[in-house]
Amino acid sequence: MKRQSGFTLIELVVVIIVLGILAVTAAPKFINLQNDARKATLDGMKASVQGANSLIYAKAAIEGKENKSTETVSSVAIVNGYVAPTFAALDEAVEADFGTAKLAAADTVATAEWGIFEGTNSAIIVPNGFASNGTCKLTYTNNAGALSYVVDGSGC
């Protein structure tokens, strides 16, 4: 009589259970969807600020204010035709929940969806739960009309 060789049903079940446990513990480290989602929201905020700048610049050009160092267009403070990098100007120009006031550099956004930290010729916009000194932020710079949008999503 020939003996058949192979795996028993119990051995196969144990291997499947071990593979399932490994998949549950290892998969989240390779597929971090929350970080990707936060980075995507930063990219969306960048697009919102760029869109607001396009509209405000067009209106400033119509009113002949595109070359003024400080002016107001549609109650938005501008610098050389573009949205000023201040809490008040960005809050007026961009449709987002920035809370009620600009934040200090060490603060973490806790009460609004977004927070704005003002700097010299720049503003740092961060999502809820993050601070300006972290690596999950959008830095908007308007240096006399020279615009820069830098998204750092490495720490989201």
pLDDT in the model for residue 8: 87
Distance of alpha carbon 109 from alpha carbon 100, whole angstroms: 12
33-36 own/partner pairs: CB under 8 Å, 24+ apart = 34/156, 35/153, 35/156
Q: Where are the alpha helices (DSSP H) in 31-133?
A: 33-63, 87-93
Residue at 125: amino acid letter: I
| Residues of the chain with confidence (pLDDT) below 70 | 1-2
Distance of alpha carbon 47 from alpha carbon 26, whole angstroms: 34
pLDDT in the model for residue 44: 95
For residue 134, report the phi and psi dihedrals to the nearest 5 degrees.
Answer: -90, -165
pLDDT in the model for residue 24: 86
> Which residues lie closer than 8 Å to 9 by C-beta, 6 or more apart?
none
Query: Do residues 93 and 99 lie in contact, with contact meaning Cβ atoms separated by under 8 Å?
Result: no
Burial (0-12, 13-18, 19+ Cβ within 10 Å), 25? exposed
pLDDT in the model for residue 1: 60
pLDDT in the model for residue 148: 95
